Amino acid sequence: MTSHDARRTTHDSPDDILVARDGAIGTITINRPARRNAIRLAGWRALAAATRELGGDAAVRVIVVRGAGEEAFCAGADLGEFPTVRADREGGARYHEAVAGAFRVLGEVEQPTIAMIHGHCIGGGCELAVACDLRLADERARFAIPAARLGVVLGVGELRALRDLIGTAAAKDLLLSGRTLTAEEALRVGLVGEIVPREALTEVTGALAGRMAGYAPVALAAIKGLLGRLAAGEGADALDAAHAAFSQRAFAAPDRGAGVRAFLDRPRGGATEG
């Protein structure tokens, strides 16, 4: 996974968030390695803007989120600015909306999102990984959400996403204890889907993204969109309408049937998997 067309965003905090495109794969890099990629208020807003930018690009079919450097995916919010940006209730509300907005956009874009996690994945960084659709981690990754120790009240959306991913019991254990999970523990509870050797993480993530980029975009969008609606508890009528809309798009797609033909033309042949 290379980084063609890498550049700073044109939004707030341009140094903190980088965007790159490599063919059909878009990459968002949290670019504060000296601070373990802790994100400032402007950085959360820039992250949302970068996700919208890639999400609005029809040529981008998969989005990878990663941290710069070798030490961390993301150490969460930059606590150093809390005395100014979260000094009162109004400031806290603005900060929460910026963070929640970044997570919300990751769910709203149709492209699948992959968190490529190395090293520290703490607090808001862990919540960021949860907000992505898939998560790969190296064997040295560490996960924690120390909100109770910091006196931070997590948003309902973040709590719901964590619960839906790992279950209520595991979510309570992680949040109430404040403990740090190893990569193996994170895999066991379902916080990550795969552990990859550190030296192979970029290659394996790129291979996964490349494989997904070759799938039908509307099928990927339908899987992500309908699962998101199911998780949100939408009613049957809304779900049926969404399914019908995706089906209509699939039948209207110019490459309709290409996937089936490619599957049937495989060296092994056959109409079913196995």
Out of 7-11, 41-45, 156-160, 183-187, which region has the weakest mean confidence (pLDDT)?
A: 7-11
- Confirm whether 272 is domain-assigned: no
Residues 71 and 40 in one domain: yes
Q: Tell me what pLDDT residue 7 has.
A: 53
Q: Which domain holds residue 81?
A: 7-213
- Confirm whether 269 is domain-assigned: no
Is beta strand 142-144 parallel, antiparallel or unpaired with respect to 181-182?
A: antiparallel
Out of 47-56, 94-103, 177-186, 259-268, which region has the weakest mean confidence (pLDDT)?
A: 259-268
Of the candidates 38, 36, 29, which has an alpha carbon nearest to the alpha carbon of residue 7?
29
Residues 79 and 120 in one domain: yes
Residues 225 and 181 in one domain: no
Residues 157 and 260 in one domain: no
Task: Give the whole-number percent of the chain exceeding pLDDT 70.
Answer: 88
Q: What is the CATH number of the domain that holds 150?
A: 3.90.226.10
Of the candidates 91, 110, 153, which has an alpha carbon nearest to the alpha carbon of residue 242?
110
Spatial neighbors of 254 by CB under 8 A, at least 6 apart, are none
3-class SS of residue 253:
coil
Which one has a higher pLDDT value, 177 or 255? 177
- Confirm whether 235 is domain-assigned: yes
- Confirm whether 200 is domain-assigned: yes
Residues 235 and 204 in one domain: no
Residues 136 and 231 in one domain: no
pLDDT in tens, 196-253: 999 999 999 999 999 999 999 999 999 999 999 999 999 999 999 999 888 999 888 7
The two three-digit tokens of residue 140, written as one number: 């040295």
Q: What is the mean pLDDT of residues 51-80?
A: 96
pLDDT band, very low/low/confident/very high, at 183 (cuts 50, 70, 90): very high
Rounded to two decimals, the pTM is 0.88
- Confirm whether 222 is domain-assigned: yes
Q: Tell me what pLDDT residue 111 has.
A: 98
Q: Tell me what pLDDT residue 47 has.
A: 97
Q: What is the mean pLDDT of residues 82-95?
A: 91
User: Is it the case that residue 255 has pLDDT exceeding 80?
Assistant: no
Residues 112 and 226 in one domain: no
- Confirm whether 270 is domain-assigned: no
pLDDT band, very low/low/confident/very high, at 87 (cuts 50, 70, 90): confident
- Confirm whether 135 is domain-assigned: yes
Q: What is the mean pLDDT of residues 87-97?
A: 92
Domain boundary among 194, 213, 232: 213
- Per the CB < 8 A criterion, the answer to whether 138 and 117 are in contact is yes
User: Is it the case that residue 192 has pLDDT exceeding 80?
Assistant: yes
Residues 140 and 253 in one domain: no
Q: Tell me what pLDDT residue 4 has.
A: 43
pLDDT band, very low/low/confident/very high, at 10 (cuts 50, 70, 90): very low
| Helices 156-166/168-177 angle, 10° precision | 120
- Confirm whether 131 is domain-assigned: yes
3-class SS of residue 175:
helix
Please state, rounded to an integer, the average pLDDT across all residues of the chain.
90
Domain count, the chain: 2
Give φ, ψ of 36 to 5 degrees: 50, 35
Q: Tell me what pLDDT residue 254 has.
A: 73
DSSP 8-state code for residue 35: G
User: Is it the case that residue 12 has pLDDT exceeding 90?
Assistant: no
Spatial neighbors of 42 by CB under 8 A, at least 6 apart, are 12, 13, 16
Out of 28-37, 123-132, 250-259, which region has the weakest mean confidence (pLDDT)?
A: 250-259
Residues 70 and 115 in one domain: yes
Residues 126 and 255 in one domain: no
Q: Tell me what pLDDT residue 259 has.
A: 53
Residues 187 and 242 in one domain: no
Q: What is the mean pLDDT of residues 36-64?
A: 97
The two three-digit tokens of residue 14, written as one number: 């341009």
Q: Find the length of the chain.
A: 274
Residues 37 and 150 in one domain: yes
3-class SS of residue 72:
strand
Torsion of CA 40, 41, 47, 48, to 10 degrees: 170
